[in-house]
Amino acid sequence: MTVSDPPQDDTDIDPESRPSKTRLKQEMHALQELGEQLVELEPARITELDLPEKLTDALFAARKITSHGARRRQMQFIGKLMRAIDPVPVQEKLNVWQHSSVQHTAWLHQLERWRDRLISDETAVTEFMRHYPQVDATQLRTLLRNIEKEKLASKPPKSFRALFQLLRQTIPEVPV
């Protein structure tokens, strides 16, 4: 450094252009929360994300840790490793998986509502066949009769489950 060169330190940088400490902490916490979501995923989903090997190993290790303090430290380590990757594609993939999971759950609830209506309301059979003409009406009515017989005889709900399977085959799940 010569006498004419000004000293190079952080005071020369415009403070407005640097993110604040609070903002940096918020970003680090957001990455750590994203890491926590990743730890909760199934192992196959984690590998599907194509993350760096070190991060993948840290995620698998965190799944095995039960001690609160050790898990907290591991999550901080995962947050640190997350800074080296672009979190946007990972978050987008998680959002797609979450959305498809919500959609799948809604479809299952729709099947359960139809099953309950078919069992309790005789007019629901006609309405169901109008909505889904591809259903085997004979099989549907047979299952409904068998459900009543099983209830009266206190038998296991074999036909109840079979009706649900018939509904799964009949009512399509709308893809994402």
Write out the chain's pLDDT in tens, 176 residues: 455 555 555 555 556 778 888 988 888 888 889 989 999 989 988 988 889 999 999 999 999 999 999 999 999 999 899 999 999 999 888 888 888 878 888 889 999 999 999 999 889 999 999 999 999 999 999 999 999 999 898 888 899 999 999 999 999 887 54
Out of 67, 85, 103, pick the residue that ends a domain: 85
Considering the domain architecture, whether residues 70 and 110 belong to the same structural domain is answered as: no
pTM for the structure as a whole: 0.52
pLDDT at position 65, please? 92
Considering the domain architecture, whether residues 97 and 80 belong to the same structural domain is answered as: no
Which three-class secondary structure state does DSSP give residue 45?
helix
Q: What is the residue range of 162's domain?
A: 91-170
Tokens of 99: 């959305």
Considering the domain architecture, whether residues 43 and 80 belong to the same structural domain is answered as: yes
Give the CA dihedral 139, 107, 45, 94, nearest 10 degrees.
Answer: 170
